[in-house]
Homo-oligomer: A and B are copies of this chain.
Amino acid sequence: MQVTFSPEELVSIVGSPSTRGVTSQQITGIGALDTAGVGDLSFLGNSKYRAQVAISKASVLLLPRDYEGEPGVDQLYVFLENPSVGLARICARIEQQMWPKPMPGIHPSAVVAADAKIATTATIGPLCVIESGAVVGEKTHLQAQVFVGRNAVVGEDCWLMPGVSLGTECILKNRVRLHAGVVVGSDGFGYEFVEGRHEKVPQVGHVIIEDDVEIGANSTLDRARFSRTVIGEGTKIDNMVQIAHNVIVGKHCILCAQVGIAGSVVIEDYVVLGGQVGVAGHLKVGKGVKAAGQAGITTTIEPGQFISGHPAMPYMLERRLHVLHRRLPELFKRVDALEGSR
């Protein structure tokens, strides 16, 4: 955050009639109660940190109405029904300053095919390339150096950040957000082994990304062999996640950073995969499954399970086996003793 608010502006944004104390500081940062300093805003969002309020050095604190302590010197308390909501309002204001609404139009340095259809309220930033037949919807923002391939379709209100590559015939629905360096529509990894060489299997399908999906920086999503690779509505994908060809990811899933999903896997709705989880090909991961970080999923998983380990198994079992694994030295000694006493 490199924006500055006066204490009065903050009080106005959160809409609080009730304050205690006063500060002369301009607010230039936000921090947790224990790390915020002079010039920072902090807040009590969780009552378990209540004891930290009195010793916080923040210049402005958002507090629940029932907080009874007194502010320090040059410190302002602002009382709210819900301090977290107040913080969210301030963050929304900061966001407007960090990412102001771009002006609609096509930057003169962009290279846009004559037959591409660009909505009048869309923004095509500098040095973007839009190939023949592509479509960009209303209010969509291609920030800079974005590539949109032949016949690709971008819906409304999307945001494609610098260096994103959207391949031929791939489809983004509405309010899709792709962070810098995301590649959608690279070829699936398919070869036939013929006479000592790997011959390429053409990958002529595409990728569909449904409404309200967000995908983190440098993630890659392969186009299907034929048919489609799909990311379901509302699913959120972190940085450097690999989605292979023909994968179907359901709605409202969470895929943490560096997850890798092999070809033709089906991930049902509301699945959560921790960082660096791997899923082997042609499996199904049932609705609501949660997998701990680095798990290796090698079989179909029934809905609702919490799994971990490699190969992945139910979390409680994996933990129990791990505890026994750590007791192996003791077990060997006990067997030695039994043999000695035979």
Q: Which residues of A contact B (CB under 8 A)?
A: 1-2, 29-32, 35, 88, 91-92, 94-95, 98-99, 107, 109, 111, 125-127, 129, 131, 143-145, 147, 149-151, 161-163, 165, 167-169, 179-181, 183, 186-187, 189, 191, 196-198, 200, 202, 204-206, 212, 214, 216-218, 220, 222, 226-227, 234, 236, 238-240, 242, 244, 252, 254, 256-258, 260, 262, 275-276, 278, 280, 293-294, 296, 298, 310-311, 313, 320-322, 324-329, 331-332, 334-335, 338-339, 341-342
Instruction: List 29 A–B pairs whose Cβ atoms lie within 8 Å, in order of A's numbering.
Output: A1-B169, A1-B227, A30-B226, A94-B226, A95-B204, A99-B150, A99-B168, A179-B186, A181-B218, A183-B239, A189-B238, A198-B236, A198-B254, A216-B220, A218-B240, A220-B240, A238-B242, A239-B242, A242-B275, A256-B262, A257-B260, A258-B258, A262-B293, A293-B296, A321-B325, A321-B326, A325-B328, A331-B335, A341-B342
User: In the complex the two chains form, is B88's CB within 8 Å of A236's CB?
Assistant: no
User: In the complex the two chains form, is B31's CB within 8 Å of A183's CB?
Assistant: no
Given A206-B2, A218-B183, A324-B328: A163 and B165 interface contact (C-beta under 8 Å)? yes
Task: Report which residue of A239, A244, A280 has the largest number of chain B beta carbons within 10 angstroms of its beta carbon.
Answer: A239
User: In the complex the two chains form, is A98's CB within 8 Å of B204's CB?
Assistant: yes
- What CA separation (Å) do A324 and B327 show in the bound complex? 10
User: In the complex the two chains form, is B186's CB within 8 Å of A1's CB?
Assistant: no
Given contacts A257-B262, A321-B325, 20 further A-B contacts (CB under 8 A): A1-B204, A32-B227, A35-B227, A88-B202, A91-B204, A91-B226, A145-B145, A181-B181, A186-B239, A187-B214, A198-B234, A198-B252, A217-B222, A220-B240, A240-B240, A242-B258, A242-B275, A244-B257, A321-B329, A335-B335
How many identical subunits does the complex contain? 3
Given A111-B127, A226-B30: A191 and B310 interface contact (C-beta under 8 Å)? no
User: In the complex the two chains form, is B169's CB within 8 Å of A98's CB?
Assistant: yes
Minimum CB distance partner of A84 in chain B: B192
- What CA separation (Å) do A46 and B65 show in the bound complex? 69
